Structure 1
Amino acid sequence: MVRGDQRARERNHSRVLGAVSSVTEPIRVLIVEDHQVVADGLAALLNDQPDISVVGSAASVADSITRTQELKPDIVLVDFRLTDGTGADAGAGIRQVRPDTKLIFLTREDSDGARFAAIEAGASAFIHKSRAAAEVVEAIRTVASGGSLFTPRTIATLLNRRRAMDTQLESLTHREKEVLRLMAEGTSSREIAAKLSISYTTVRTHIRSLGSKLGVHSKLEAIVKARELALIE
């Protein structure tokens, strides 16, 4: 009877140790960032947390997928603009090779298009680089525990905006898209006329049409709208 009790206590002790081990296992993070100084700073910040461990870094879409296969991170912290594509491209590839890995976008990109691309890639959070370090750390913990920073309301709002942008884009002619793109690049009306081999009067007609369809009346508004419609990066 004593031996049985002893064996039972040993089994219980082993189970407790196993449970403690699983609880204290650090969150494994892979950083995907094409600016090494930024990547190093993030790694230093995260490795200073007792429950987070940076297992590696990557600087491109291709490398991020390879490193995910090798390192098996719990979370990939990814920038949106990379040397050979976008964070959304990286996210799609990462989710293919390791579906259980969670994605957090940490970027200076601030457009609805980028947010929607992140959601489509399977991201659980989209954080601007201007946010406090504590928010990034908390986001990692939230996502690692199965949470998401995208609320149903946020997703619904983005979907509605995306539909509105698609409608606007479909309303533009090919020539109007060219004119808008050139306006957003800072090209003057006369330079646009020369580049497209059309008259100055025709350019002004296209600009008036853009103003009517999109509410674009200045170069700044053209830049904002062209980015929203993904006509420029």
Structure 2
Amino acid sequence: MKIRLLLVDDHQVVRSGLRMLLGGESDVEIVGEAGTAKEALEAAPKLRPNIVLMDIGLPDMSGIEATSEIKRLYPEIAVVALTIHEDEEYFFKMLEVGANGYVPKRAAPEELLTAIRAAAAGEVYLYPSLAKLLVKDFLAQERTSGEAAGLDGLTDREQEVLKY
């Protein structure tokens, strides 16, 4: 069964490049394109893609907001972010709203295909350098919650003494 893909990016040249890159794959069918979040939200129920390849920087609303709406309305559709943004803020926000993958635009074509195929199989794909951010954040939270849990066993007076 072919992976039905909807391309969402506000730059026509990017969508054309993706169409050329992905169109030759035997297991991928590009069912449509959208240049805005509004177009993507209108196209999703009509075209029934398995995967939406979503840019974050769209002119009418962010790809984060669009992903949130798509996941709310059509939870069976997987969303893979393809973006220039590689900082923690965008990465974590996309994961919070339900993105199934996150790939920077500088990634090799094979990485993008791996992400698309993983999302189509119900998996989550994180670009390796961004996966490190997730692990780092998790470990920081574990340390913080571990320290807090350690203080819970102390009396109020013992905690007061430790603060000074």
Give the TM-score band, short-chain normalised: 0.7 to 0.9
Counterpart contact for 1:32–1:77, Cα < 8 Å: yes
Q: In the alignment, which residue of structure 1 is the partner of 2:97?
A: 121
Select the structure with the greater relative contact order (CA < 8 A; seq sep ≥ 6). 2
Conservation of the 8 A alpha-carbon contact between 2:88 and 2:133: no
Gapped regions of structure 2 (runs ≥ 5): 142-164
After TM superposition, the structure 1 = structure 2 runs for residues 174-193 of structure 1, keeping only pairs within 5 Å, are none
Q: TM-score w.r.t. structure 2 length?
A: 0.77
Is 2:133 the counterpart of 1:157? no
Structure with greater helix share of residues: 1
Match of 1:81 among 49, 57, 61: 57
Question: 1:37 matched to which residue of 2?
Answer: 13
- 1:69 touches 1:97 (CA, 8 Å); kept in 2? no
Matched with 2:161 is: none
Ranges in structure 1 where 5+ consecutive residues have no aligned partner: 1-24, 163-233
- The CA distance in 2 between the partners of 1:161 and 1:91, in whole Å, is 27
User: Between the two proteins, what is the percent identity of the paired residues?
Assistant: 31
1:41-89 superposed Cα distances (whole Å, 9 cap, x missing partner): 1011111000000100111111111111111100000011000121111
Q: In structure 2, give the amino acid aligned to 1:140.
A: I
User: Could you tell me how far 1:108 is from its partner in structure 2?
Assistant: 0.4
Partner of 2:114: 138
Larger Rg: 1
Tell me the equivalent position of 1:206.
Answer: none
- C-alpha distance in 1, partners of 2:36/2:76? 21
User: Residues 100 and 71 (structure 1 numbering): CA distance in 2 closer, same or farther, change over 3 Å?
Assistant: same
* Alignment TM-score, normalising by the size of structure 1: 0.55
Deviation of 1:144 after TM superposition, in Å, equals 0.7
